[in-house]
Amino acid sequence: MIINKVEICGVNTSKLPILKEKEKRELLLKMRDGDKGARETFIKGNLRLVLSVIQRFNNRGENVDDLFQVGCIGLMKAIDNFDLGQNVKFSTYAVPMIIGEIRRYLRDNNSIRVSRSLRDIAYKALLVRDRLIKENNKEPTVSQIAKELNLPREEVVFALDAIQDPVSLFEPIYHDGGDAIYVMDQISDSKNSDESWLENISIKEAMKKLNDREKLILTLRFFNGRTQMEVADEIGISQAQVSRLEKTALKHMRKYV
């Protein structure tokens, strides 16, 4: 993780402190007793965690300073709600809360002016999708739709994303029995590997505790960069099932880290 590549106004990110797990626990104990100084030290010592999360979003044209501030809100919520009695590392607990806060911000604040060309691509993509479903009796992948249109895969993804109102990579695009699938789930991001991110928050080893199916899904998703739709095609289940199993596997991992 290259922290100094994220520039935050008023924050020298290259000199942020790094806390060891023992130091974190000692500070958390002091915070529980109302020590405000310990809280401030703990927050500063976890700002790198916020930076590691916002790097997952900084290629989407967002204001990095805004994302950092929102991420810090998520960090402080995690601090306020963290239970020392649980056998879980703080970073493992905090990351989903930071991501959740950023997702809410993006859902509430982001909109994109959709060009006519993007709307045309999205309309054609939906027509192709419907045709392929009728022909093959199953949901096509984005890659298959892009191939039919003779367009780059990413262009089709962004066109489909752009017709959402409001447009966001985190808007739900499908529901099945309460399980939401997001536009973000359709995109594999090889430039911003989830493998390195998982390693940075020390949870990769927890995969050893998962069953074979959970291991396979997380390996395909986070280490091989597959989308949920691609994983579903490969192992022969629905995308909603992949989404549900992925969430369950990540929940199990938090118990062992």
Among 64-73, 93-102, 166-175, the least confident range: 166-175
User: Of residues 14 and 53, which shows the higher confidence score?
Assistant: 53
Instruction: Return the H-helix or E-strand segment holding 179.
Output: strand 179-182
DSSP alpha helix (H) spans, 63-193: 64-81, 90-109, 116-136, 142-149, 153-162
Which tokens sit at 156?
A: 């089709």
Radius of gyration of the chain (CA): 20
CB half-sphere exposure, 230, CA atoms < 13 A: 18
C-beta of residue 231 within 8 angstroms of C-beta of residue 166: no
d(CA 68, CA 66): 5
Please give the average per-residue pLDDT across 60-69, as a whole number.
77
Averaged pLDDT, 147-169: 70
How high does pLDDT run on average in the chain?
Answer: 73
Give the domains, in start order, of the chain with CATH numbers: 3-109 (1.20.120.1810), 116-167 (1.10.10.10), 194-256 (1.10.10.10)
Q: How far apart are CA 155 and CA 205, in angstroms?
A: 36
User: pLDDT class for 149, splitting at 50, 70, 90?
Assistant: very high
C-alpha 28/C-alpha 90 separation (Å) is 10
How confident is the model over 208-243, as pLDDT tens digits?
778 888 888 887 876 666 777 888 888 888 888 888
State in Å, rounded, how far the first CA of the chain is from the last one: 20
The phi, psi pair for 193, rounded to 5°, reads: -60, 130
Q: What is the pTM of this model?
A: 0.45
Q: Has residue 35 got a pLDDT over 80?
A: yes
Q: Write down the residue that tokens 């929940």 correspond to.
A: 251
For residue 222, what is the DSSP state? I
